Amino acid sequence: MDEVVATLESGWLTTGPRTAQFEEEFARYVGAEHAIGTNSGTAALHLALESIGVGPGDEVITTPLTFAATANAIEHCGARPVFADVDARDGNISAEIVAELLTEATRALLPVHYAGAPADLDALRRLDREIPIIVDAAHAIEMRTDDGRRSGAGVELGAYSFQVTKNITTGEGGMIVTTDPERAAELRVRRLHGVDKDAFRRRAEAGFTESDLLFAGHKYNMTDLQAAIGMHQLRRIEILHARRVEIWEAYNESFGDSSYWTVPPSSCEPDGERRHGCHLYTLWFAWDALGMNRAECTEALARGGVGVAWHYPPLHLQRYYRERYGHSQGEFPVAEEIARRTVTLPLSASMSDTDVRQVIAAVHGLAAERS
Ligand SMILES: Cc1ncc(COP(=O)(O)O)c(C=O)c1O
Protein backbone atom coordinates (compact mmCIF):
# COMPACT_ATOMS: atom_id res chain seq x y z
CA MET A 1 0.00 0.00 0.00
CA ASP A 2 2.91 2.34 0.77
CA GLU A 3 4.33 1.65 -2.69
CA VAL A 4 1.00 2.48 -4.34
CA VAL A 5 0.80 5.75 -2.40
CA ALA A 6 4.43 6.51 -3.28
CA THR A 7 3.59 5.89 -6.93
CA LEU A 8 0.69 8.32 -6.76
CA GLU A 9 2.89 10.89 -5.03
CA SER A 10 5.63 10.44 -7.61
CA GLY A 11 3.29 11.69 -10.33
CA TRP A 12 4.35 8.81 -12.60
CA LEU A 13 1.26 6.63 -12.82
CA THR A 14 1.58 4.94 -16.18
CA THR A 15 4.43 2.82 -17.62
CA GLY A 16 7.60 4.09 -15.99
CA PRO A 17 10.33 3.28 -13.47
CA ARG A 18 8.28 0.84 -11.38
CA THR A 19 7.20 -1.14 -14.42
CA ALA A 20 10.85 -1.36 -15.50
CA GLN A 21 11.85 -2.54 -12.03
CA PHE A 22 9.05 -5.12 -11.79
CA GLU A 23 9.99 -6.43 -15.25
CA GLU A 24 13.60 -6.85 -14.21
CA GLU A 25 12.78 -8.57 -10.92
CA PHE A 26 10.16 -10.80 -12.55
CA ALA A 27 12.58 -11.86 -15.30
CA ARG A 28 15.13 -12.78 -12.64
CA TYR A 29 12.59 -14.75 -10.61
CA VAL A 30 11.31 -16.88 -13.51
CA GLY A 31 14.81 -17.26 -15.02
CA ALA A 32 13.93 -15.34 -18.20
CA GLU A 33 16.23 -13.07 -20.15
CA HIS A 34 13.69 -10.33 -20.93
CA ALA A 35 10.28 -9.46 -19.47
CA ILE A 36 7.73 -6.99 -20.84
CA GLY A 37 4.83 -5.90 -18.63
CA THR A 38 1.33 -5.79 -20.10
CA ASN A 39 -2.13 -4.90 -18.84
CA SER A 40 -3.31 -8.54 -18.90
CA GLY A 41 -2.25 -12.10 -19.61
CA THR A 42 -4.56 -12.09 -22.63
CA ALA A 43 -2.72 -9.06 -24.04
CA ALA A 44 0.58 -10.86 -23.39
CA LEU A 45 -0.62 -13.90 -25.36
CA HIS A 46 -1.97 -11.79 -28.21
CA LEU A 47 1.23 -9.72 -28.50
CA ALA A 48 3.43 -12.82 -28.37
CA LEU A 49 1.48 -14.49 -31.18
CA GLU A 50 1.38 -11.31 -33.26
CA SER A 51 5.12 -10.73 -32.81
CA ILE A 52 5.95 -13.97 -34.61
CA GLY A 53 3.55 -13.08 -37.41
CA VAL A 54 0.64 -15.43 -36.66
CA GLY A 55 -2.16 -14.36 -38.98
CA PRO A 56 -5.01 -15.44 -41.25
CA GLY A 57 -4.57 -18.91 -42.71
CA ASP A 58 -2.30 -20.02 -39.86
CA GLU A 59 -3.01 -22.77 -37.38
CA VAL A 60 -1.86 -22.74 -33.76
CA ILE A 61 -2.07 -25.99 -31.83
CA THR A 62 -3.34 -25.61 -28.28
CA THR A 63 -5.38 -27.31 -25.57
CA PRO A 64 -9.16 -27.27 -25.18
CA LEU A 65 -8.71 -27.58 -21.38
CA THR A 66 -7.91 -23.95 -20.66
CA PHE A 67 -9.39 -20.55 -20.10
CA ALA A 68 -10.98 -18.91 -23.14
CA ALA A 69 -8.18 -16.33 -23.38
CA THR A 70 -5.69 -18.93 -24.67
CA ALA A 71 -7.65 -19.74 -27.83
CA ASN A 72 -9.21 -16.28 -28.13
CA ALA A 73 -5.72 -14.77 -28.52
CA ILE A 74 -5.23 -17.00 -31.57
CA GLU A 75 -8.59 -15.86 -32.95
CA HIS A 76 -7.60 -12.21 -32.37
CA CYS A 77 -4.72 -12.80 -34.82
CA GLY A 78 -7.17 -14.14 -37.40
CA ALA A 79 -5.65 -17.62 -37.08
CA ARG A 80 -7.30 -20.93 -36.19
CA PRO A 81 -6.84 -22.67 -32.85
CA VAL A 82 -6.36 -26.38 -33.50
CA PHE A 83 -7.19 -28.26 -30.34
CA ALA A 84 -5.17 -31.28 -29.23
CA ASP A 85 -6.47 -33.72 -26.64
CA VAL A 86 -4.64 -33.76 -23.32
CA ASP A 87 -2.77 -36.34 -21.28
CA ALA A 88 -4.78 -38.00 -18.49
CA ARG A 89 -1.83 -37.68 -16.10
CA ASP A 90 -1.72 -33.90 -15.94
CA GLY A 91 -4.25 -32.35 -18.35
CA ASN A 92 -1.49 -31.00 -20.62
CA ILE A 93 -1.12 -31.46 -24.37
CA SER A 94 1.60 -33.98 -25.17
CA ALA A 95 4.09 -34.25 -28.02
CA GLU A 96 2.60 -37.55 -29.28
CA ILE A 97 -0.82 -36.01 -29.78
CA VAL A 98 0.50 -32.74 -31.19
CA ALA A 99 2.68 -34.64 -33.69
CA GLU A 100 -0.42 -35.97 -35.43
CA LEU A 101 -1.86 -32.47 -35.86
CA LEU A 102 1.11 -30.74 -37.45
CA THR A 103 0.34 -29.48 -40.97
CA GLU A 104 1.86 -27.07 -43.48
CA ALA A 105 -0.29 -24.37 -41.88
CA THR A 106 0.96 -24.94 -38.32
CA ARG A 107 2.52 -21.62 -37.34
CA ALA A 108 3.04 -22.11 -33.59
CA LEU A 109 2.32 -24.33 -30.59
CA LEU A 110 0.58 -22.85 -27.56
CA PRO A 111 0.80 -25.21 -24.58
CA VAL A 112 -0.56 -24.31 -21.13
CA HIS A 113 0.92 -25.52 -17.85
CA TYR A 114 -2.55 -26.60 -16.73
CA ALA A 115 -3.23 -25.90 -13.04
CA GLY A 116 0.55 -25.45 -12.62
CA ALA A 117 1.61 -28.94 -13.78
CA PRO A 118 4.71 -28.60 -16.00
CA ALA A 119 3.94 -29.32 -19.66
CA ASP A 120 6.80 -31.17 -21.38
CA LEU A 121 8.16 -28.31 -23.49
CA ASP A 122 11.35 -30.20 -24.39
CA ALA A 123 9.33 -32.96 -26.05
CA LEU A 124 7.30 -30.34 -27.95
CA ARG A 125 10.53 -28.62 -29.07
CA ARG A 126 11.89 -31.91 -30.38
CA LEU A 127 8.88 -32.27 -32.71
CA ASP A 128 9.99 -29.51 -35.03
CA ARG A 129 12.61 -26.95 -34.12
CA GLU A 130 11.27 -24.54 -36.72
CA ILE A 131 7.85 -24.13 -35.11
CA PRO A 132 7.87 -21.52 -32.35
CA ILE A 133 6.40 -22.39 -28.97
CA ILE A 134 4.50 -19.77 -27.02
CA VAL A 135 3.87 -20.90 -23.48
CA ASP A 136 0.74 -19.90 -21.59
CA ALA A 137 2.29 -19.81 -18.12
CA ALA A 138 -0.65 -18.09 -16.41
CA HIS A 139 -0.75 -20.90 -13.83
CA ALA A 140 2.96 -21.48 -13.55
CA ILE A 141 4.94 -18.57 -12.12
CA GLU A 142 6.65 -20.67 -9.41
CA MET A 143 6.78 -23.88 -11.46
CA ARG A 144 10.05 -25.69 -12.20
CA THR A 145 10.79 -28.50 -14.61
CA ASP A 146 12.12 -31.98 -13.72
CA ASP A 147 15.69 -30.69 -13.91
CA GLY A 148 14.94 -27.60 -11.85
CA ARG A 149 14.65 -25.00 -14.63
CA ARG A 150 12.46 -22.06 -13.69
CA SER A 151 9.25 -21.44 -15.61
CA GLY A 152 10.72 -18.77 -17.91
CA ALA A 153 14.17 -20.29 -18.43
CA GLY A 154 14.95 -20.84 -22.12
CA VAL A 155 11.37 -19.98 -23.08
CA GLU A 156 11.30 -18.39 -26.54
CA LEU A 157 8.01 -16.64 -25.75
CA GLY A 158 5.89 -17.03 -22.64
CA ALA A 159 2.87 -15.22 -21.20
CA TYR A 160 1.97 -14.79 -17.53
CA SER A 161 -1.12 -13.35 -15.88
CA PHE A 162 -1.48 -11.34 -12.66
CA GLN A 163 -5.27 -11.30 -12.80
CA VAL A 164 -6.75 -11.34 -9.34
CA THR A 165 -7.09 -15.12 -8.87
CA LYS A 166 -3.48 -15.82 -9.89
CA ASN A 167 -0.74 -16.81 -7.42
CA ILE A 168 0.53 -13.23 -7.43
CA THR A 169 -1.62 -10.38 -8.63
CA THR A 170 -1.59 -6.78 -9.76
CA GLY A 171 -5.40 -6.67 -9.87
CA GLU A 172 -5.15 -7.10 -13.63
CA GLY A 173 -1.86 -7.45 -15.45
CA GLY A 174 0.42 -9.70 -17.40
CA MET A 175 3.99 -10.26 -18.55
CA ILE A 176 5.69 -11.60 -21.66
CA VAL A 177 9.08 -13.26 -21.40
CA THR A 178 11.48 -13.98 -24.24
CA THR A 179 15.03 -15.11 -24.85
CA ASP A 180 15.40 -12.80 -27.85
CA PRO A 181 16.56 -9.19 -27.16
CA GLU A 182 15.33 -7.88 -30.52
CA ARG A 183 11.91 -9.41 -30.02
CA ALA A 184 11.81 -7.92 -26.52
CA ALA A 185 12.51 -4.45 -27.93
CA GLU A 186 9.82 -4.89 -30.58
CA LEU A 187 7.28 -6.13 -28.02
CA ARG A 188 7.86 -2.99 -25.93
CA VAL A 189 6.97 -0.91 -28.98
CA ARG A 190 3.99 -3.05 -29.95
CA ARG A 191 2.50 -2.97 -26.44
CA LEU A 192 2.17 0.84 -26.58
CA HIS A 193 0.62 1.81 -29.90
CA GLY A 194 3.69 0.91 -31.95
CA VAL A 195 5.49 4.16 -31.05
CA ASP A 196 9.24 3.68 -30.94
CA LYS A 197 9.76 5.80 -27.82
CA ASP A 198 7.33 5.94 -24.95
CA ALA A 199 7.19 8.93 -22.60
CA PHE A 200 9.44 7.29 -20.00
CA ARG A 201 12.16 6.54 -22.54
CA ARG A 202 11.86 9.96 -24.15
CA ARG A 203 12.36 11.60 -20.78
CA ALA A 204 15.47 9.50 -20.12
CA GLU A 205 17.10 10.89 -23.25
CA ALA A 206 18.87 14.26 -23.28
CA GLY A 207 17.13 16.93 -25.32
CA PHE A 208 14.08 16.61 -27.50
CA THR A 209 13.79 13.55 -29.73
CA GLU A 210 11.04 12.79 -32.17
CA SER A 211 9.22 9.51 -32.04
CA ASP A 212 8.03 7.45 -34.95
CA LEU A 213 5.21 4.93 -35.40
CA LEU A 214 6.59 1.52 -36.35
CA PHE A 215 3.45 -0.66 -36.08
CA ALA A 216 -0.28 -0.30 -35.70
CA GLY A 217 0.31 -1.38 -32.12
CA HIS A 218 -1.92 -1.90 -29.11
CA LYS A 219 -2.70 -0.17 -25.84
CA TYR A 220 -1.45 -3.11 -23.76
CA ASN A 221 1.05 -1.43 -21.44
CA MET A 222 1.39 -2.14 -17.73
CA THR A 223 1.02 0.89 -15.45
CA ASP A 224 3.30 1.80 -12.57
CA LEU A 225 0.34 1.48 -10.23
CA GLN A 226 0.06 -2.19 -11.24
CA ALA A 227 3.82 -2.66 -11.01
CA ALA A 228 3.85 -1.10 -7.52
CA ILE A 229 1.59 -3.96 -6.37
CA GLY A 230 3.40 -6.60 -8.42
CA MET A 231 6.87 -5.75 -7.07
CA HIS A 232 5.78 -6.43 -3.52
CA GLN A 233 3.73 -9.49 -4.42
CA LEU A 234 6.84 -10.88 -6.08
CA ARG A 235 9.01 -10.22 -3.03
CA ARG A 236 6.59 -12.39 -1.00
CA ILE A 237 6.10 -15.06 -3.63
CA GLU A 238 8.12 -17.79 -1.90
CA ILE A 239 6.31 -17.24 1.39
CA LEU A 240 2.97 -17.37 -0.39
CA HIS A 241 4.04 -20.46 -2.34
CA ALA A 242 5.18 -22.25 0.81
CA ARG A 243 1.72 -21.73 2.32
CA ARG A 244 0.04 -22.98 -0.87
CA VAL A 245 2.24 -26.09 -0.71
CA GLU A 246 1.22 -26.70 2.92
CA ILE A 247 -2.45 -26.55 1.96
CA TRP A 248 -1.79 -28.66 -1.16
CA GLU A 249 -0.11 -31.37 0.92
CA ALA A 250 -2.89 -31.33 3.52
CA TYR A 251 -5.39 -31.87 0.69
CA ASN A 252 -3.26 -34.65 -0.86
CA GLU A 253 -3.01 -36.44 2.46
CA SER A 254 -6.69 -36.19 3.16
CA PHE A 255 -8.11 -36.95 -0.28
CA GLY A 256 -5.64 -39.66 -1.32
CA ASP A 257 -7.76 -42.81 -1.32
CA SER A 258 -11.41 -42.69 -2.16
CA SER A 259 -13.90 -44.40 -4.42
CA TYR A 260 -15.66 -41.04 -4.79
CA TRP A 261 -12.82 -38.99 -6.28
CA THR A 262 -9.28 -39.16 -7.65
CA VAL A 263 -6.43 -36.77 -6.98
CA PRO A 264 -4.86 -35.99 -10.40
CA PRO A 265 -1.57 -38.00 -10.62
CA SER A 266 0.48 -34.87 -11.36
CA SER A 267 -0.67 -33.32 -8.06
CA CYS A 268 0.94 -36.14 -6.06
CA GLU A 269 4.27 -36.60 -7.81
CA PRO A 270 7.26 -36.19 -5.50
CA ASP A 271 8.74 -32.79 -6.07
CA GLY A 272 12.54 -33.25 -6.23
CA GLU A 273 13.82 -30.68 -8.70
CA ARG A 274 10.38 -30.44 -10.26
CA ARG A 275 7.97 -27.99 -8.74
CA HIS A 276 4.26 -27.89 -9.41
CA GLY A 277 3.04 -24.32 -9.84
CA CYS A 278 0.30 -25.12 -7.27
CA HIS A 279 -2.23 -22.82 -8.91
CA LEU A 280 -5.39 -24.95 -9.01
CA TYR A 281 -6.05 -27.85 -6.65
CA THR A 282 -8.52 -30.07 -8.45
CA LEU A 283 -10.28 -33.32 -7.56
CA TRP A 284 -11.73 -35.57 -10.24
CA PHE A 285 -15.06 -36.80 -8.89
CA ALA A 286 -16.81 -40.08 -9.76
CA TRP A 287 -20.33 -38.65 -9.96
CA ASP A 288 -22.13 -42.01 -10.19
CA ALA A 289 -20.38 -43.35 -7.11
CA LEU A 290 -21.09 -40.13 -5.22
CA GLY A 291 -24.73 -40.18 -6.31
CA MET A 292 -24.83 -36.53 -7.30
CA ASN A 293 -23.89 -34.39 -10.24
CA ARG A 294 -21.42 -31.52 -10.21
CA ALA A 295 -24.02 -28.79 -9.73
CA GLU A 296 -25.45 -30.64 -6.71
CA CYS A 297 -21.94 -31.15 -5.33
CA THR A 298 -21.15 -27.46 -5.79
CA GLU A 299 -24.36 -26.49 -4.01
CA ALA A 300 -23.76 -28.95 -1.16
CA LEU A 301 -20.24 -27.59 -0.64
CA ALA A 302 -21.55 -24.01 -0.77
CA ARG A 303 -24.04 -24.90 2.00
CA GLY A 304 -20.99 -25.93 4.04
CA GLY A 305 -19.43 -22.52 3.36
CA VAL A 306 -17.02 -23.81 0.69
CA GLY A 307 -16.96 -22.10 -2.70
CA VAL A 308 -15.56 -24.17 -5.56
CA ALA A 309 -14.95 -23.62 -9.27
CA TRP A 310 -14.81 -25.76 -12.44
CA HIS A 311 -11.64 -25.54 -14.54
CA TYR A 312 -12.52 -25.65 -17.39
CA PRO A 313 -15.57 -26.19 -19.55
CA PRO A 314 -13.73 -27.57 -22.62
CA LEU A 315 -13.33 -24.80 -25.17
CA HIS A 316 -14.33 -26.84 -28.23
CA LEU A 317 -17.78 -27.34 -26.67
CA GLN A 318 -18.32 -23.64 -25.89
CA ARG A 319 -20.83 -22.15 -28.32
CA TYR A 320 -18.42 -19.86 -30.15
CA TYR A 321 -15.86 -22.60 -30.96
CA ARG A 322 -18.49 -25.28 -31.51
CA GLU A 323 -20.32 -23.20 -34.09
CA ARG A 324 -17.27 -21.65 -35.72
CA TYR A 325 -15.39 -24.89 -36.32
CA GLY A 326 -18.13 -27.52 -36.05
CA HIS A 327 -16.68 -29.20 -32.96
CA SER A 328 -18.74 -31.80 -31.16
CA GLN A 329 -18.88 -33.90 -28.01
CA GLY A 330 -16.48 -36.85 -28.01
CA GLU A 331 -13.79 -35.17 -30.13
CA PHE A 332 -11.30 -34.75 -27.28
CA PRO A 333 -12.35 -37.47 -24.84
CA VAL A 334 -9.63 -37.03 -22.21
CA ALA A 335 -10.11 -33.27 -21.94
CA GLU A 336 -13.88 -33.80 -21.81
CA GLU A 337 -13.56 -36.45 -19.09
CA ILE A 338 -11.28 -34.29 -16.93
CA ALA A 339 -13.55 -31.29 -17.49
CA ARG A 340 -16.64 -33.34 -16.56
CA ARG A 341 -15.12 -34.68 -13.35
CA THR A 342 -13.15 -31.66 -12.13
CA VAL A 343 -13.96 -29.54 -9.13
CA THR A 344 -11.38 -26.95 -8.05
CA LEU A 345 -11.11 -26.52 -4.29
CA PRO A 346 -10.26 -23.24 -2.54
CA LEU A 347 -6.50 -22.62 -2.50
CA SER A 348 -5.05 -19.37 -1.27
CA ALA A 349 -2.11 -18.38 0.90
CA SER A 350 -4.56 -16.36 2.98
CA MET A 351 -6.47 -19.47 4.09
CA SER A 352 -6.12 -20.36 7.77
CA ASP A 353 -5.73 -23.93 9.07
CA THR A 354 -9.38 -23.71 10.14
CA ASP A 355 -10.39 -22.81 6.57
CA VAL A 356 -8.43 -25.80 5.25
CA ARG A 357 -10.04 -28.15 7.77
CA GLN A 358 -13.45 -26.79 6.79
CA VAL A 359 -12.84 -27.60 3.11
CA ILE A 360 -11.59 -31.09 3.94
CA ALA A 361 -14.56 -31.76 6.23
CA ALA A 362 -17.05 -30.49 3.66
CA VAL A 363 -15.68 -32.77 0.91
CA HIS A 364 -15.56 -35.81 3.20
CA GLY A 365 -19.06 -34.87 4.31
CA LEU A 366 -20.29 -35.54 0.75
CA ALA A 367 -18.92 -39.08 0.93
CA ALA A 368 -20.27 -39.62 4.44
CA GLU A 369 -23.78 -38.62 3.31
CA ARG A 370 -23.55 -41.13 0.48
CA SER A 371 -22.36 -43.91 2.80
C1 LIG B 1 -4.62 -20.37 -18.64
C2 LIG B 1 -4.92 -18.90 -18.72
N3 LIG B 1 -4.50 -18.21 -19.79
C4 LIG B 1 -4.71 -16.89 -19.92
C5 LIG B 1 -5.40 -16.20 -18.95
C6 LIG B 1 -5.67 -14.75 -19.20
O7 LIG B 1 -5.08 -13.91 -18.28
P8 LIG B 1 -5.73 -12.46 -17.98
O9 LIG B 1 -6.99 -12.67 -17.23
O10 LIG B 1 -4.68 -11.78 -17.18
O11 LIG B 1 -5.95 -11.79 -19.29
C12 LIG B 1 -5.84 -16.87 -17.79
C13 LIG B 1 -6.54 -16.23 -16.66
O14 LIG B 1 -7.25 -15.35 -16.61
C15 LIG B 1 -5.62 -18.26 -17.69
O16 LIG B 1 -6.04 -18.95 -16.63
Q: 276-308, pLDDT tens digit by residue?
A: 999 999 999 999 999 999 999 999 999 999 999
The residue type at 2: D
Pick from 90-99, 143-152, 195-204: least confident: 195-204
- The pLDDT value recorded for residue 203 is 72
Q: List CB contacts of 180: < 8 A, sequence separation 6 or more.
A: 33, 34, 156
Q: Any idea which residues carry the catalytic annotation?
A: 166
Residue 198: alpha-carbon gap to chain centroid: 28
From ligand 1's centre to the CA of 298, what distance in Å?
A: 23
Q: Is the pLDDT of residue 369 over 90?
A: no
pLDDT at 102: 97
For residue 176, give the H/E element and its range.
strand 174-178
State the distance from the centre of ligand 1 to the C-alpha of 361, rounded, in angstroms. Answer: 30
Kindly tell me if the per-residue pLDDT of 323 is higher than 90.
yes
* Residue 114 confidence (pLDDT): 98
Q: Is the beta carbon of 70 within 6 A of some atom in ligand 1? A: yes
Condensed to tens digits (0 to 9), the pLDDT of residues 89-117 reads: 999 999 999 999 999 999 999 999 999 99
- Give the pLDDT confidence of 219-278 residue by residue, as tens digits: 999 999 999 999 999 999 999 999 999 999 999 999 998 999 999 998 887 778 999 999
Residue 198 has pLDDT above 80, yes or no: no
- Using the predicted structure, report yes or no on whether residue 52 has a pLDDT greater than 90: yes
* Of 157-161, 202-206, 254-258, highest mean pLDDT: 157-161
Ligand 1 contact via 137 beta carbon (within 6 Å): no
The alpha carbon of 210 and the centre of ligand 1 are apart by a number of angstroms equal to 36
Our measurement of the distance from residue 145's CA atom to the centroid of its chain's CA atoms, rounded to an integer in Å, reads 16
Predicted pLDDT at 129: 84
Q: Whose CA is nearest to atom 14 of ligand 1?
A: 163
Q: How far is the CA of 209 from the centre of ligand 1 (A)?
A: 37
149-153, 214-218, 254-258: which has the minimum mean pLDDT? Answer: 254-258
Q: Pick from 152, 170, 176: which is nearest to 46 by CA?
A: 176
Indicate the DSSP class of residue 120: -
Mutate to test the pocket of ligand 1, among 66, 67, 135 (most ligand atoms within 8 A of CB): 67
* pLDDT over 90 at 164, yes or no: yes
277 lines ligand 1 (CB under 6 A): no
* 168, 169, 173, 177: CA torsion to nearest 10: -10
- Give residue 313 CA to ligand 1 midpoint distance, Å: 14
Residue of 45, 136, 160, 161 to test ligand 1 pocket, by largest number of atoms within 8 Å of CB: 161
Instruction: Report whether residue 116 contacts ligand 1, using a CB cutoff of 6 Å.
Output: no
Question: How far apart are alpha carbons 28 and 22 in whole angstroms?
Answer: 10
Query: Is the separation of the CB atoms in 138 and 110 below 8 Å?
Result: no
pLDDT tens, residue by residue, 122-138:
999 999 889 999 999 99
DSSP line for 36-55? EEES-HHHHHHHHHHHTT--
pLDDT value for 197: 82
User: Ligand 1: does its nearest atom lie under 6 Å from the Cβ of 92?
Assistant: no
84 pLDDT higher than 80: yes
What is the enclosing helix (H) or strand (E) of 22? helix 17-30
Comparing CA positions, the residue from 41, 27, 33 lying closest to residue 226 is 41
The percentage of the chain sitting over the pLDDT mark of 90, rounded to a whole number, equals 91
Question: Helix crossing, 181-190 with 41-51: angle to 10°?
Answer: 120
Q: Whose CA is nearest to atom 8 of ligand 1?
A: 41
Q: How far apart are CA 149 and CA 348, in angstroms?
A: 24
Q: Which residues contact 237 (CB under 8 A, 6 or more apart)?
A: 29, 141, 142, 167, 168
Mean predicted confidence (pLDDT) in 178-190: 97
pLDDT computed for residue 291 by the predictor: 95
To test the ligand 1 pocket, which listed residue (76, 86, 163) has its Cβ within 8 A of the most ligand atoms? 163
Q: Which of 6-10, 90-94, 170-174, 263-267 has the lowest mean pLDDT?
A: 263-267
